[in-house]
Amino acid sequence: MSTDTPGSQSSLHRANLERVLRAVRMAGSLTQAEIARGTGLSAATVSNIVRELKESGTVVVADTSSGGRRARSVSLSGDAGIVVGIDFGHTHLRVAVGNLAHRVLAEESAPIDVDVSAAQGFDHAEALVDRLLAEAGFRPDKVIGVGLGVPGPIDVETGALGSTAILPGWTGIAPGRELAERLGMPVHVDNDANLGALGELVWGAGRGLSDLAYIKVASGVGAGLVVNGQIYRGPGGTAGEIGHITLDEAGPVCRCGNRGCLETFVGSRYLLNLLTPTLGGELSLPRVVELAHQGDLGCRRVIADAGRQIGTGVATLCNLLNPRRVILGGDLADAGELVLGPIRDSVARYAIPSAARQLSVVPGTLGGRAEVLGALALVMSEAGDSSALAVARS
Ligand SMILES: [Zn+2]
C-alpha cells in the first residue's frame, strides 16, 4: 500500500499530503488558496505538496483567475485512477465510469424487472461495467473502487440488505461482497438516498454546503443526511428512514409492519392507487407529473397532498437536524412548485420558526443521475488516498 521512498516522507508530511488530496478529490478542482483555507495548512506547505503531487503525475495544475486575481487551480490527473458507480433501483440499473478529476467518461442506464433475482441483477451489472470500461478505454486494473447503490438499508455489521428493501428477492444478500468477488475490485455499498445526497453534495444542488438532507420520493421514501460535510448513517446504518415516520396510527399498513407511515401516503404505489379509479390504465408517477403540468386537477391535488405530507416529515427533520437545505429527488421532484410549494407550507406550519427560516427546499439538479454520481463520489470519499497515488505512480 505504501508508496514512500525510503526516508523521504515523515508521517506528518504524509498526513498533510493526504489532506490535500482528499480536499481536491471531493471538490473536483480547487485553487491553492482554497486548499490552504480548507485544510488549515500554510500556503507554503500547500505549494510544496502540490509541486510534489504534480511531479508524481497525481494532480494537474492550470492557471485560472479567482476574484479577478491570477490563481492556480489544482485537480486530480485524469490518469490518477478510474471509479465506477452502479445504482440499482426498483426498475432500473444505471452504471457510470468516471475519473478522479470528476469527469464522467461513460454512462448508461437499462430497465430491470423488479422481480429480478440478485444473481441476474449482478450479471447485468457486471456486463455493463465491462462494456463501459472498454468504451472509456480503460483496463479493469485502473479501477480504484466501485460504488454500489441499493434501494434499502444496509446492515453495517453484516453488509446485508435489510428486509424493508424495495427489491423483494434481495433480502439478506450482502451485495457488496457478492459484487467484489465477481468484479475483483473493492466495492463500497450504500443505500440510494445516501448516494443521492452525496451526488447532489458533490455535483448538484448541495455544492458548497455542509449540512443538508436529500429526500428521495419514489417507490419508497428515504432521506440521506449530510452533517458537517459527511453522510450521517447512524451506528446501525438506518439513519434517514424518514419514510417510516408515523403520521396516522390507524392508517394503511406499511411494508415495514407499522401503520400510517409517511410512505403509505406518498410512495408511488399509494399515489397511483388514488388516481387509477378515475384515470385508469397503466399509470406511472412520471405520467401523473406530466398530467399535473398539463392541468389535470386530480393529479395536481394528489401531488399537492403528497407535498403537504412530505412537508410534515421535513418539518420534523428540520427541528431535529437544522439542515441548511432540503433537496427533493425522485420522480415527484419533476412536479416542481406543484409539490415544493405544499412542502414549504407544511414546514412553515410545523417546524420551529428559527429552524424553518434557515431552510431552503429545492429540487435536485441531477434528476435520475443523482444516485449513480453519488456512487462515484462514495468511492472518492472512501477509497484510501494511497490508492490514487499508487495508481498514478505505477
Ligand atoms: Zn413503514
Cα of 221 from ligand 1 centre, angstroms: 9
Cα of 238 from ligand 1 centre, angstroms: 13
Cα of 236 from ligand 1 centre, angstroms: 17
Chain length of the chain:
394
pLDDT at 318: 94
Give the three cell numbers for residue 250: 390507524
Residues of the chain with pLDDT under 70: 1-9, 114, 163-168, 383-394
Cα of 242 from ligand 1 centre, angstroms: 9
* Mutual angle of helices 11-27 and 43-55, in 10-degree steps: 80
Long-range pairs for 125-129 at CB < 8 Å and ≥24 separation? 125/86, 125/88, 125/93, 125/95, 125/179, 126/179, 126/182, 126/183, 128/86, 128/93, 128/95, 129/84, 129/86, 129/95, 129/97, 129/183
pLDDT at 68: 78
Cα of 157 from ligand 1 centre, angstroms: 23
pLDDT at 337: 97
Question: pLDDT tens, 211-262?
Answer: 999 999 988 899 999 998 889 998 888 899 999 999 999 999 998 899 999 9
How far is it, in rounded angstroms, from Cα 145 to Cα 269?
35
Find all residues with CB under 8 Å of 24, minimum gap 6, and list them: 30, 35, 59, 74, 75, 76
Cα of 260 from ligand 1 centre, angstroms: 7
pLDDT at 97: 96
DSSP 262: T
Cα of 283 from ligand 1 centre, angstroms: 23
Cα of 252 from ligand 1 centre, angstroms: 10
Residues by chain with Cβ below 5 Å of ion ligand 1: 244, 254, 256, 258, 261
Cα of 273 from ligand 1 centre, angstroms: 17
Number of neighbours of residue 266 by Cβ within 10 angstroms: 27
Residue type, 43: A
pLDDT at 6: 46
Cα of 256 from ligand 1 centre, angstroms: 4
pLDDT at 95: 97
Cα of 348 from ligand 1 centre, angstroms: 25
Cα of 266 from ligand 1 centre, angstroms: 11
Question: pLDDT tens, 96-110?
Answer: 999 988 889 999 999
Q: Are strands 92-99 and 29-31 parallel, antiparallel or unpaired?
A: unpaired
How far is it, in rounded angstroms, from Cα 364 to Cα 215?
9
pLDDT at 116: 76
Burial (CB count within 10 angstroms: exposed 0-12, middle 13-18, buried 19+), residue 151: buried
pLDDT at 341: 98
pLDDT at 152: 79
Give the three cell numbers for residue 45: 506547505
